[in-house]
Amino acid sequence: MSTTSSSPVPSTTGTHRDPGRAALRGGIFGYYADQFDIFVPILTLAPAMIFFQPADMSPTASALVAAAVFASTMVARPLGSAIFGHYADKVGRRITTMVAVAGFGASTFLIAMLPGHQHIGTAAIVLLVGLRFVAGIFLGGEYSTAVPLAMEWSPRHRRGLASGLITATSPAATASIAALSLLLLSTMSSGGLDTAYVQWGWRIPFLFGALLAVGLFVYYRRNVEEAPAFDTDERPSSPLAELLRGRHRRALLQVFVLMTGTWTLTNVGVAVLPATLKKSVGLDDRAVSVVMTIAPLACIGGFLACALLSQRFGRRPFYVGFGVVAAVVASTCFYVLTTLDADDVVLAGVLATAVQVLSLSLFGPIAAYITERFPASIRATGYGVGYSLALVIPAFYAFYLSGLSALVGDALAPVVLIVVGGALVAVGGWLGPETRDVDMTTAA
């Protein structure tokens, strides 16, 4: 491949024998680091939130603060996608990925160093939410650049599998977080403000996330090349403006519908499910960690299976079918789960696993599908904005649950969200074209 001034590749990468495999490995490693960083607060900080809060904070306020920590990252991701997607389409995917990785690594490290409420008062919560917002900007940039780069290097007949290999690292990351949290909770005291886990144990997963960023940065610097699809003179002056008008705007709206449903299902399966296991079923922190370690491992197989199904039968029929299955079957499993108690731990684990597999496995082909929806000249912007703009509405799931609980009760509120999410996925898939055989080298 030829290199240009807008495609900065150091001479050390020019000797790499298989740049396609290097880009795919970078996409896999990068998505794992991204997902680890996104979901680490949900399981890691849950037993330690008293470190950041005043002792007299009500349970309702505490739940809203925890939701704000998660939502701040999600809300920031579309901003990061727009910023970094623009530069990825203008100056190259590789160098932009490296900048994004360095940014979220630094943010994650700073979170691990934060003092608590007993040291700096309310500023502890403000800094935690603020740093998660900053991390969200860089995380939005990372997957907006690394994933299109990997897809552009993937052969057409293997894009589904490549997508599954990348996105399957999401349940692998949540399983890693749950396993690490379980290990820490099993070896440290965690019952009060002065316990080892609350004071410093929760910092370990964040430090691990920062180390992942360092490793990813070094890998991209040494091994990854710019994709041939980027070597085109047909680059718009403003990829974002190009995305928001004409036929590209219609594609963005269709992806937005599908991804709004996808993120709604994700928030229930990842963020709401652990709280349900603890509060409704009555499992303790260790039991919840065990379940939330096993369920994501099953999802790895679900991601890969769905990626292959989409390659065999097409992306469009896959998403229509998955949305229907999620709305009907996943919602039923979740409702039955809410009727159990702590003595039904095995059945609770089986149902929780089913909910996760039937809510999250649609991510298997998502990297291939969204990158196939946009031409090379705006692909990073289209993928990043399409993937993350839809995060904003579902990010406030805690507020929707509060309102729905007043109408249908606590048990049915998450069920309603699953049905809505599945319906949006089915409609979004139906509105879009088939993309499995699209030419990824087309510039416009």
In a domain, 1, yes or no: no
Determine the angle formed by the axes of helices 203-223 and 93-112, rounding to 10 degrees. Answer: 160
Look up residue 140 and give its amino acid.
Answer: G
Lowest mean pLDDT among 45-59, 112-126, 135-149: 45-59
- Six-digit token string for 421: 């999410």
CA trace torsion 398, 39, 133, 151 (10° rounding) = -120
For the chain, how many structural domains are there in total? 1
In a domain, 352, yes or no: yes
- Of all residues in the chain, the percent with pLDDT exceeding 90 is 40
pLDDT surpassing 50 at residue 7:
no
Alpha carbon distance, N-terminus to C-terminus of the chain: 20
- Of all residues in the chain, the percent with pLDDT exceeding 70 is 93
Residue whose C-alpha is closest to residue 319's, from 272, 357, 366, 352: 366
Ordered alpha helix ranges (H), 158-267? 159-167, 169-187, 196, 203-223, 239-243, 246-266
In a domain, 305, yes or no: yes
**128 contact partners, CB below 8 Å, separation of at least 6:** 52, 69, 111, 114
Q: Can you give the pTM of this predicted structure? A: 0.80
Residue whose C-alpha is closest to residue 277's, from 192, 201, 355, 330: 355
Secondary structure of residue 284 in the 3-state scheme: coil
Residue whose C-alpha is closest to residue 369's, from 225, 162, 168: 162
Predicted local confidence at residue 361, as pLDDT = 95
CATH code for the domain in which residue 267 is found? 1.20.1250.20
In a domain, 3, yes or no: no
Predicted local confidence at residue 235, as pLDDT = 67
Mean pLDDT of 188-210: 88
Predicted local confidence at residue 234, as pLDDT = 63
Per the structure, the complete domain to which residue 220 belongs is given by 19-431
In a domain, 441, yes or no: no
Average of per-residue pLDDT values in the chain? 86
pLDDT in tens, 281-293: 888 877 887 888 8
Q: At 380, phi and psi to the nearest 5?
A: -65, -45
In a domain, 361, yes or no: yes
